[in-house]
A and B are shown apart, each in its own frame.
Chain A
Amino acid sequence: MNIAINTDHFEFKADQEKSYSQVDKKELYSIANTVTKLIAPSWPLADFVAVNPLWGFKDRPFLSTQSRLRSLIGSGILPSTDFFLNHFEKNNLQESEINNVLLEAKLTGNLDNDTFKANSELLNSRFLAALNNSKKDKTDYKTPTFSEYLETLGLVKNIDGLFIDEISKFCGIYFDKGQAAFKSPLQELSLFKAWNHLARTDRTLNILGFSDFKSFLEKYANEYEEILFEAYKILDYRKDILEIFLELNLFSIKGWSSYVRHLAFEDEKTLKQNDTPLELLCIKIAYEIYLIKKAPIRDVKNYINLLKARISIVPNQKKDSILYLSQLILERRFIRSLAKNIAPAALTPYERKTMQAIFCIDVRSENFRNNLEQQSDNIETYGFAGFFGLCFNHCQSDYDYNINQYPALLSTRFKIKEKNSLEEFKTNSLNALIKSLRQSVCSGFSYVEGFGLYYLYEIAKDVLRVQSPESRINTAPQLELELTLEQKVEASINLLKNSGLRIPYAPTVLLCGHESSTNNNPFQSALDCGACGGHSGGINALVASRILNDQSVRESLLGSEYEIPVDTVFVPAVHCTTTDEIHIIENDKNLDNEKIAWLQSATELSIKRRSAAIGLEQSESILKDVSKRAQDWSEVRPEWGLAGNAAFIAARRSRTKKSDLAGRCFLHEYDSESDPQDKILELIMTAPMIVASWINLQYYTCATTPEFFGAGNKTIHNVVGQLGVLEGNSGDLKIGLPMQSVHDGKKSMHEPLRLQVIIEAQMENITKIVEKHDLLNDLINNGWLKIFSLSRESNEMHQLVRNEVWYRHS
């Protein structure tokens, strides 16, 4: 009997065995390494920034990513058929629209020719019918991992989930940033070694019946390269199958993979090698290989055949094409209505204003800027990346982590230290003591008995919401800037030049960062300034204004085109996006009553305009209601963040000043006349535009594929390791935005559109820059965003369809 069992299981014939050295180690390594790059990085909760979760696919066309994802995760990223049907039901579909998008698809080449022909027969008047038909196409194209495959065969149950729980448990311990009082010694080892150690010690799998798992580890999983080779061996030494096998497993633990990808991403900035993503992938496939060793050989062979068959299949082409065309229709409709809102170019001579205000390009600034400008003709606002071009590490106190105050794609330049007060030291030491008392065997009990009743008071305070929201930036703190004069002057010139601030500068120049105000919300940083690395932008505004107000800097600028008038004062402020209030950080004496009144009525108008979306009634007390809501510890939807974002406009403010853009546009100031060498344009297109696209695709995917790219339901979130959330007990780390960030329970708050970039610049200038940067080429040619050139003189727009080809938008 024993013999029979043995032959029935996976054994390799001697002639098939190749030794490790014969195979190109490096090649396997590089295959696996490339695969891990498919996953986009995901930042920890403290520095949560929006990420394009499909960053790894940027060099592939949007549409083929759609079908690739169907195979990998069982779902594409385009909105569902029902979504489009609903949309077209409400807004009738025009024949001309279909023709237009067919043309666009043809020009962009995103639909390949064959599909295109087949579809064109179907289309025209029968578009809706075709769309309706595609609903029936529900075939499950998900290629299973081996454990999922065994589940479908009925040989095992819940095993995939079990393995993911085990990995997640391990990662929670290994990556813990201080949630557990016990710092695991495993953190000192490399990821794979640590896992190997934990898996040998942990008895969970043993208890559940995998009694030989430990011996498997000893035999096959001492080094991650061994596991990789083992997989290769099992998969008939076929690199293409190995690749798909690795991809499937990578996506089965996409949460933790994204987190470790972020670690590697940060290391790559300093050209450090980081194999953690690869190690994590090998951990996952170790479990799979264990199952393969245990499973009947027939099933393993069938599985390999299944993988082979899946390599060549392009699933759901027809359905995806029609969904893609519908997406194009939606986007065209949006761009049309947006074009109507763009004012024709007007040549008004510039006079010195009373107040100039620079805001972040964030879509939430748009509403406020619009309302502020309405207050007086003497106000001018600008849109600029909210970190004000300053990349620094902010060290709030000796006892805090250093906070990165710059976009995730850049790296740090200098350091800012806040002087600590004694008070701060006292509170911190008290907090540390309380923590240590609460977290240990005996003192935990006494602490509860001594102070438990005090929490009744805390509960009352929170239920009654007596605190009013405060800015997180200290008013006029003492800062230590580690900058030389040259650096300061350079930073000043960059800021003044790139923000397009017009000369002569107004007596008051408001530098306005932004932050959110929410309570008891693990996703607070998702609502903060993405350009400031998911933190409050106030500190950047403060540092920028300190530099610009510096007398020696001003002296150095004397005589240059950026000379700052003597009476000009830069006032740092922070815009609270939850309450739309402006908090002045320092130099508030410079603001007279009139200016303060402007800001206050802008606040009021902005809230009123948002009130319907956040479900508040327009009443006298609306300001209070909003501020109460911001402090509500049970509030899961304090504000809608960047939901609804759809366009990025780099143009003079006069083009958009008078129009209501519904808070859907990133607005960057750009005047091509003051940029003869296209330096500013290049900067805009390679930095803020990319960040905007990340944000855009983060919201896009969270709206269309929440089950995979969203962080799930806030009500069962469980913060793990002070870096991310789990849903409930365990499972994979959750990435992306929670359901409550994009959905109000009845309807989605984000209409999924790819970023529509409108630049007021000549087509050839834009083309030149795109040609120069492979990244831009990839993003545009593959359809991850669309670029339009807006004429300086008229409202004419041209779309860049592919490599230097422009076509006029109508």
Chain B
Amino acid sequence: MTIIIALICSSPSIAFYIFSSLRYPLDRRTRLSFSGVSLTCLTCSFIAIGLFLMAPSIANSYSAEKYLIIFYLDRISYIMAFVVSIIGFTVVRFSVRYMDGDNRQLYFLKWLSITVTAVFWLIFSGSILLFLLSWLAVSACLHKLLVYFADRPKALNAARKKFIVSRIGDLAIISGCIILLKCFGTLVFRDMFFLAAQSGPTTNSWQFQIAMLLIALGAVSKSAQLFFHSWLPESLEVPTPVSALMHAGIINAGGFLIVRLSPLFAQASLASCILAVWGTLTAVFAMSAMVTQSSVKKRLAYSTIGQMGFMIMQCGLGLYALAMLHIVAHSFYKAYAFLRSGSAMQQASSQAFFPNKVQLSGWRIVAIVFLFTTASLITSNFFKISYLPLILVWASVILQAFISDTLQVSSKDRKYALLASFRLLSVMLISYLALAYIFSATLSGIVAGSWIDTRPDLLSNIAVISVSLLIASGFILQLLIVSSKTNKLIASLAIHLHNGLYLGSYFDRACNAVLPHSLQIKKLKGKI
């Protein structure tokens, strides 16, 4: 069994090595390797679906098997495996024509397939040790892809930044794991979760809390959260399929780590609280920065950061099933958006529609405030408190739709526009609720429940209130940015946001201090 799972996990690379070592002329071998790897990925996705459907029966039959020390098999793994294999399949298929004529296609495919393999291992690893090893492997493989165009200095620069950020994250996780080992005496997920469920003195200890803080830090660094984000918008010097794989697959690793460790995080209030706030901050920052970006891939990069922030916020609030939904939905969305980035012009021509003119008149502001408050008052009574921020989000979505450009048009066809938005919003809301229900139902018992509902205390209140406030202020900030045309403050803010709050530049400066790459400005002493 162990071997079978290991083989499945490694199948993309195995397929690559088999097909690329065939004795055919280079062209044919290349074509075959691409088809081989993509078909393997597609097969993996079918296996993942099969496993997902059979999951309960599998879980019963092997409860005491030994290989579970190595592998962890549950619906989270299957869902993630499905997502990654589909993204892998798409990206490899896309690269066949996209990378055509590049004389290093096989090299490219090699690292692509090894990266996917490493992610599979990450998904199925059953102990923190294996998890860490694959975590490092993913990072190393990605590095290879990031420097695919090694003659581009900016590609190297971005890869170097990513390298440093990753190592900081690794350091945090490794030290976190060492402490966990001390707390639990084991690094096998199964055993750790079992111990944690008893909620004894181990999880209350300050060592455990610190360990979780460190691991949270690692997750945050991996998922490009605020202060760790600058490498992501700068790593566009790679072929588009690599960006797609990175933004749809690898970037989720941080979120996956938290969901995987949800039984532990459910006990770690402080770490969760920090995650929630950090995620929300990132979300608000990145989405605001996104609206100022004038190039399509930069916009997508900031969108990824923001979406990851939102996902981390959900993790922090203990809504792990919803976080999984977000990971899955975002992966497909972003893979598509990146691979489609060449259509920016065509999309523009159909959307050049109305000039951007959101007007914030007085009554609208009153309406916003009113709706926000009533929505939050009503919902906090009927629903679980952990859902409050999400309800706020939905309230703002509806508001957004109603003040958006579409309805500003003064035309006899306005009612169709209204109807269209009403329909769109209903479909969106219903499909969200349905998906949220499905994910919660299928993952119940697999991920932990929200710590906010089970253990309401000061920290949980802080988390909910600050997240809600941040969301509301983010929404208003966004409205201000989009609506005000002349305000000097907003104009300056937009410039700072466009630069990602200069974290990249600070990073550059820090790097310049140590690396021979430096600008060496100091040699220029002239006075202005």
Which A residues are closer than 8 A to B by beta carbons?
5-6, 8-10, 45-46, 150, 155-159, 161-162, 169, 172-173, 176-186, 188, 197-198, 201-204, 207-210, 212, 215-216, 219, 290-291, 293-296, 399-401, 422, 425-437, 439-453, 455-456, 458-459, 462-463, 519-522, 524-525, 632-637, 713-722, 726-731, 740, 743-746
Q: Hey, which chain A residues are within 8 Å of B342, CB to CB?
A: 520-522, 633, 714, 717, 719
In the complex the two chains form, is A442's CB within 8 Å of B400's CB?
yes
**30 A-B pairs (CB sep. < 8 Å):** A9-B527, A46-B349, A155-B523, A158-B519, A176-B294, A181-B290, A181-B482, A197-B491, A204-B499, A291-B524, A426-B416, A428-B351, A429-B353, A429-B409, A429-B420, A436-B404, A442-B400, A442-B471, A443-B397, A444-B306, A446-B428, A453-B328, A459-B86, A520-B342, A633-B339, A634-B95, A636-B98, A713-B149, A720-B294, A728-B237
In the complex the two chains form, is B288's CB within 8 Å of A441's CB?
yes
B interface residues, tally (CB under 8 Å) = 132
Q: Hey, which chain A residues are within 8 Å of B494, CB to CB?
A: 182, 184
The answer for the CA separation of A150 and B526 in the assembled complex, in Å, is 14
Q: Hey, which chain A residues are within 8 Å of B527, CB to CB?
A: 5-6, 9, 212, 293
The answer for the CA separation of A90 and B283 in the assembled complex, in Å, is 61
CB of B251 closer than 8 Å to a CB of A: no
Q: What distance in Å separates the Cβ of A96 from its nearest Cβ neighbour in chain B?
A: 38
Q: What distance in Å separates the Cβ of A672 from its nearest Cβ neighbour in chain B?
A: 43
In the complex the two chains form, is B393's CB within 8 Å of A729's CB?
no
CB of B292 closer than 8 Å to a CB of A: yes
In the complex the two chains form, is A634's CB within 8 Å of B339's CB?
yes
Indicate whether A439 sits within 8 Å of B290 (C-beta atoms), given known contacts A162-B519, A203-B502, A729-B236: yes
- Residue among B303, B342, B404, B525 with max Cβ neighbours from chain A (10 Å): B342
Q: What distance in Å separates the Cβ of B488 from its nearest Cβ neighbour in chain A?
A: 8
In the complex the two chains form, is B239's CB within 8 Å of A716's CB?
yes
The answer for the CA separation of A260 and B409 in the assembled complex, in Å, is 32
Stretch of B54-62, B130-138, B472-480 lying at the A interface: B472-480
Tell me the interface secondary structure of chain B in the complex: helix
Excluding A449-B322, A722-B348, 20 further A-B contacts by CB distance (< 8 Å) are A155-B524, A156-B524, A158-B517, A158-B519, A173-B292, A173-B294, A179-B294, A180-B294, A210-B521, A436-B404, A446-B397, A447-B397, A449-B432, A451-B329, A455-B336, A716-B236, A716-B237, A716-B240, A718-B236, A728-B236
The answer for the CA separation of A458 and B334 in the assembled complex, in Å, is 12
Q: What distance in Å separates the Cβ of A235 from its nearest Cβ neighbour in chain B?
A: 17
In the complex the two chains form, is A459's CB within 8 Å of B332's CB?
yes
CB of B160 closer than 8 Å to a CB of A: no
Write the chain A residue with the least CB distance to B340. Answer: A520
In the complex the two chains form, is B295's CB within 8 Å of A425's CB?
no
Q: Hey, which chain B residues are within 8 Å of A714, CB to CB?
A: 342
Q: Hey, which chain B residues are within 8 Å of A185, CB to CB?
A: 485-487, 491
Name A635's contact: one of B97, B296, B306, B481 (CB within 8 Å): B97
Q: Hey, which chain A residues are within 8 Å of B328, CB to CB?
A: 452-453
Indicate whether A435 sits within 8 Å of B351 (C-beta atoms), given known contacts A452-B333, A453-B328: yes
The answer for the CA separation of A325 and B486 in the assembled complex, in Å, is 60
Number of CB contacts from chain A to chain B under 8 A? 386
Q: What distance in Å separates the Cβ of A611 from its nearest Cβ neighbour in chain B?
A: 16
Which B residues are closer than 8 A to A by beta carbons?
86, 89-90, 93-103, 149, 152-155, 158, 233-234, 236-240, 283-284, 287-288, 290-299, 303, 306-307, 310, 322, 325-326, 328-333, 335-337, 339-346, 348-354, 356, 392-394, 396-397, 400-401, 404-406, 409, 413, 416-417, 420-421, 424, 427-429, 431-432, 435-436, 471, 474-475, 477-478, 481-482, 485-487, 491-492, 494-496, 498-499, 502, 505-506, 508-509, 512, 517-528
Indicate whether A442 sits within 8 Å of B349 (C-beta atoms), given known contacts A204-B499, A745-B100: no
Q: Hey, which chain B residues are within 8 Å of A720, CB to CB?
A: 294-296
Q: Hey, which chain A residues are within 8 Å of B294, CB to CB?
A: 172-173, 176, 179-180, 720-721
Q: Hey, which chain A residues are within 8 Å of B524, CB to CB?
A: 150, 155-156, 291, 294-296
Q: Hey, which chain A residues are within 8 Å of B518, CB to CB?
A: 157
In the complex the two chains form, is B149's CB within 8 Å of A716's CB?
yes
In the complex the two chains form, is B420's CB within 8 Å of A400's CB?
no
